[in-house]
A and B are shown apart, each in its own frame.
Chain A
Amino acid sequence: MRAGINFIFRWKTLPALLLVLTFVFMALAAPLISVPNDVLHPEVKVVGDKWDRIPHSPEAGSPLGTYTRQWDVFHSLVWGTREALVFGLVTTLITAGFGIFVGAVSGFMGGRINSLLMRITDAFITVPVIAGIAILAMFIGMIMAQFNTSPYVFFSGDVVNFDVPEGMEYFIWLYRFVDSLDVVMLGLILFSWMPYARLINSQVMRIKNSEFVEAARMLGAKNGRLIWKHLVPNAISPAIVFAAKDVGAMVVLRATFAYIGMGVPSTWAAMLLEGGRWVIGPGGNIIHYWWMFIPVTMTLILFGLGWNLLGDEFNLWLNPKER
């Protein structure tokens, strides 16, 4: 408890906490900060004439200007926070959870199983995420094609009626499941859990034979209890630091992959894609349409900065030696 209070009141922690909490607040209070005028698509708010394709600079109704078709920049920034936070946290939690599970179990088992699992981990390290996503998209497309639907329909996300071929009726759940997957998220999870596994593994191997674990075993603790109540809590601190830094990175990577045509862009990614086309303004003037890309880039940087600083502070808090 005392440590927690110390953590919050260290002056260096404040900016990190402030940044992250601001984004959380923005996500939660989005309807209060900026009122949507379309309930079905609350991320996009049209101010003015929606056929007007010229972006307008900041003015009374739109504090950060508008995109083409008069989409309010500020409104989309605020509402995009929800998607970004959810995506970053969910992806990181699943990734870290899986990595921690593999690392802890293989470290606890030791011996041949450990070296086999760690070799598999090393093999995964050699797969670039972009190749992972490409091959996943291919296999998913092949599964979808079994149901006689065009893969294009799958990737555009349209729900259509289709005739299920004979013998495939029992696998319709597979179609529904695969249909609901996000390729980029899946690829990021499958091909970035390895650092967690390695971190946890080395820690677990180190403390596996220490006295408190032996004592717990003498008292009759089962393997599951030993792993989750004794080993993992004592080994998890580097993984937490790593996870805090991953949250921002996941959101940025998703935007990057959306740019090269992989996956469905999130709200922030869509803003970046739109803004990127206006960086080179008339006559090469880079700041003529500044509101098209600078606010969203700054937001993304601050988002990443907040989580990175928080990770650093976690590190100092969990390793008092480094203070």
Chain B
Amino acid sequence: MPKLAKFILWRFLQIPLTFFLVTFILYSIFLAFPGEYRLRLFLTSQDFSQLSSGLDQELIDELIETHQLNDPFYLQYARWLGNIAKGDWGHSGMMRMDIKDAYLRFLPATIELLFYSVLFTIPLSILGGVLAGYRQDRPSDFIFRFLAFVATSFPTFILAFILLAVFYVILYWFQPERISDATRYFMQTEAFRSYTGLITLDGILNGRLDITMEAARHLVLPVLTLSFAQWATTGRVTRAAAIDEKKKEYSVAARARGVSDRNILWRHILPNILSPALTSSALTSASMVTMLFVVEIIFDISGMSSLIVYQMGFAMDVVSVMAFTIFSVMIVMIFMFVLDVCQAIVDPRIREEVSLS
């Protein structure tokens, strides 16, 4: 499929483009401020130990000199990008940790949660929307619409607390946090090798299915909360699309020829609504990522949200806020890329568009 390959390549090139755009805009805003703010992006842990011994203007000026922050804008920006390319992403004074180490430590939890939530939310909303639209104005459709309204205005953290009260405190089926302490300590010993950082995967690779199961049980409540907060928009779009498709000539003709309802729904209507459903998912992916971080904070999963949790009140840990922002934009870009590729696979019109332009 050369057209599909061309589409994927064209779409993939937008990811580095966005990266340059975002970093460029953020760095240019920094230029409106005195050099010591930009300096924070360049500081290493050695600089921090120097600074902690005594904070004075001379030392700051000296550091500004050593990091050449009085150069023209494009040189500074290029040097900063070079640092990022070298893997030197700055040092967070508040977390007492290099940003790169923070990424290595916090990223797997976020990726794991996002992966399972997407796997659960998108099929759920598409299936729900198709069924509700197909049974328009019947009780199941009414329940679907009512749930969709409730889901958009239910405060996420109250839902999380209710789920915790039922499934953790009373039934003790599912637990909050990422993994129990005992298992975490075991995972840090020699007996367990961490290949990917994703606990559900590492458990299988190490031949310890019980650890995979435990991680999965810890994931259930966050995934449920995130899905409940997110399925409604795509679900509604899918429902509207299903109602539209049901009225079109081809499905009326199929029914007139005696094709069974089930066949019309799954063979004819579903392929046609996948495209708008995936578009809607792609457009709401930013709000999905927002809710992902919220759910992480609620369930005490130390994912990427840790970069901002501790400094919201002060907002002065420039490096980690920058790292967090760049990360969130990039994860949304990648997420949208994957959904767009899926859409191009199910909808030939999308890839035609690219090959024409």
Using CB atoms and an 8 Å cutoff, list the residues of chain A in contact with chain B.
123, 125-132, 134-135, 137-142, 145-146, 151-152, 155, 191, 195, 245, 248-249, 252, 255-256, 259-262, 272, 275-276, 279-281, 284, 286, 293, 297, 300-301, 303-305, 308-309
Residues of B within 8 Å of A259, CB to CB, are: 155, 157, 294, 298
A200 → B minimal CB distance (Å) = 16
Whether A279 contacts B161 by the Cβ 8 Å rule is yes
Whether B169 contacts A284 by the Cβ 8 Å rule is yes
With an 8 A cutoff between CB atoms, is B162 at the interface?
Answer: yes
Whether B309 contacts A272 by the Cβ 8 Å rule is no
With an 8 A cutoff between CB atoms, is B314 at the interface?
Answer: yes
Q: Main SS of chain A's interface residues?
A: helix
With an 8 A cutoff between CB atoms, is B72 at the interface?
Answer: no
B22 → A minimal CB distance (Å) = 8
> Which of chain A's residues has its CB closest to B171's CB?
A284
With an 8 A cutoff between CB atoms, is B192 at the interface?
Answer: no
Q: List 7 A–B pairs whose Cβ atoms lie within 8 Å, in order of A's numbering.
A: A126-B286, A128-B328, A134-B325, A191-B286, A252-B155, A300-B155, A304-B153
Whether B157 contacts A276 by the Cβ 8 Å rule is yes
Whether B153 contacts A248 by the Cβ 8 Å rule is yes
Whether B293 contacts A279 by the Cβ 8 Å rule is no
Whether A123 contacts B289 by the Cβ 8 Å rule is no
With an 8 A cutoff between CB atoms, is B158 at the interface?
Answer: yes
Number of A-B contacts defined by CB within 8 Å:
153
Interface centre among A128, A155, A191, A303 (most CB of B within 10 A): A128
Whether A195 contacts B283 by the Cβ 8 Å rule is yes
Residues of A within 8 Å of B18, CB to CB, are: 123, 126
Whether A256 contacts B155 by the Cβ 8 Å rule is yes
Would A293 and B158 be within 8 Å (CB), given that A128-B328, A135-B321, A151-B315 are in contact? yes
Whether B155 contacts A140 by the Cβ 8 Å rule is no
* B315 in complex: contacting residue of A130, A132, A141, A309, CB < 8 Å: A141
B234 → A minimal CB distance (Å) = 14
Whether A249 contacts B315 by the Cβ 8 Å rule is no
Interface centre among A272, A300, A301 (most CB of B within 10 A): A301
With an 8 A cutoff between CB atoms, is B336 at the interface?
Answer: yes
* B290 in complex: contacting residue of A128, A140, A145, A151, CB < 8 Å: A128
With an 8 A cutoff between CB atoms, is B27 at the interface?
Answer: no
* B155 in complex: contacting residue of A135, A155, A297, CB < 8 Å: A297
Residues of B within 8 Å of A308, CB to CB, are: 149, 152-153
Interface 0/1 of B327-357, CB less than 8 Å to A: 0110011001000000000000000000000
Whether B165 contacts A297 by the Cβ 8 Å rule is no
With an 8 A cutoff between CB atoms, is B278 at the interface?
Answer: no
A307 → B minimal CB distance (Å) = 8
Residues of A within 8 Å of B51, CB to CB, are: none
Interface 0/1 of B12-40, CB less than 8 Å to A: 00000010010000100100011001000
- Interface size, chain B (Cβ < 8 Å): 49
Q: Main SS of chain B's interface residues?
A: helix
Top 6 nearest A-B pairs (CB, nearest first) are A304-B153, A284-B169, A279-B161, A131-B328, A141-B315, A128-B290
Residues of B within 8 Å of A279, CB to CB, are: 158, 161-162, 164-165
B317 → A minimal CB distance (Å) = 8
Whether B321 contacts A297 by the Cβ 8 Å rule is no
* B318 in complex: contacting residue of A138, A276, A304, A305, CB < 8 Å: A138
Whether B329 contacts A249 by the Cβ 8 Å rule is no
Interface centre among B153, B170, B328 (most CB of A within 10 A): B153
A94 → B minimal CB distance (Å) = 19
Whether B153 contacts A127 by the Cβ 8 Å rule is no
> Which of chain A's residues has its CB closest to B332's CB?
A126
B225 → A minimal CB distance (Å) = 12
* B289 in complex: contacting residue of A128, A140, A252, CB < 8 Å: A128
Residues of B within 8 Å of A129, CB to CB, are: 286-287, 290
A315 → B minimal CB distance (Å) = 10
Q: How far is the CA of A67 from the CA of B197 in the complex (A)?
A: 43
Q: How far is the CA of A132 from the CA of B308 in the complex (A)?
A: 12
Residues of A within 8 Å of B29, CB to CB, are: 139
With an 8 A cutoff between CB atoms, is B258 at the interface?
Answer: no
Q: Which of B58-106 contact A (CB under 8 A)?
A: none
Q: How far is the CA of A272 from the CA of B156 in the complex (A)?
A: 11
With an 8 A cutoff between CB atoms, is B120 at the interface?
Answer: no
Residues of B within 8 Å of A252, CB to CB, are: 152-155
Whether B315 contacts A138 by the Cβ 8 Å rule is yes
Whether B153 contacts A130 by the Cβ 8 Å rule is no
B209 → A minimal CB distance (Å) = 30
Q: How far is the CA of A275 from the CA of B315 in the complex (A)?
A: 27
> Which of chain A's residues has its CB closest to B33's CB?
A142
Q: How far is the CA of A26 from the CA of B327 in the complex (A)?
A: 43
Whether B165 contacts A134 by the Cβ 8 Å rule is no
Residues of A within 8 Å of B54, CB to CB, are: none
* A248 in complex: contacting residue of B152, B287, B309, CB < 8 Å: B152
A285 → B minimal CB distance (Å) = 8
Whether B158 contacts A276 by the Cβ 8 Å rule is yes
Q: How far is the CA of A127 from the CA of B329 in the complex (A)?
A: 5
Q: Which of B147-194 contact A (CB under 8 A)?
A: 149-150, 152-158, 161-162, 164-166, 169-170
With an 8 A cutoff between CB atoms, is B224 at the interface?
Answer: no
Q: How far is the CA of A119 from the CA of B313 in the complex (A)?
A: 34
> Which of chain B's residues has its CB closest to A284's CB?
B169
Whether B283 contacts A272 by the Cβ 8 Å rule is no
Please give 18 more A-B residue pairs, beta carbons under 8 A apart, in addition to A134-B315, A304-B153: A123-B18, A125-B283, A134-B308, A134-B312, A135-B321, A140-B315, A155-B314, A155-B315, A191-B286, A252-B155, A260-B293, A260-B297, A279-B162, A284-B165, A286-B166, A293-B161, A301-B153, A303-B153
B6 → A minimal CB distance (Å) = 20
Whether B162 contacts A125 by the Cβ 8 Å rule is no
Q: How far is the CA of A275 from the CA of B157 in the complex (A)?
A: 11
With an 8 A cutoff between CB atoms, is B7 at the interface?
Answer: no
A215 → B minimal CB distance (Å) = 33
Q: How far is the CA of A123 from the CA of B332 in the complex (A)?
A: 11
Whether B333 contacts A126 by the Cβ 8 Å rule is yes
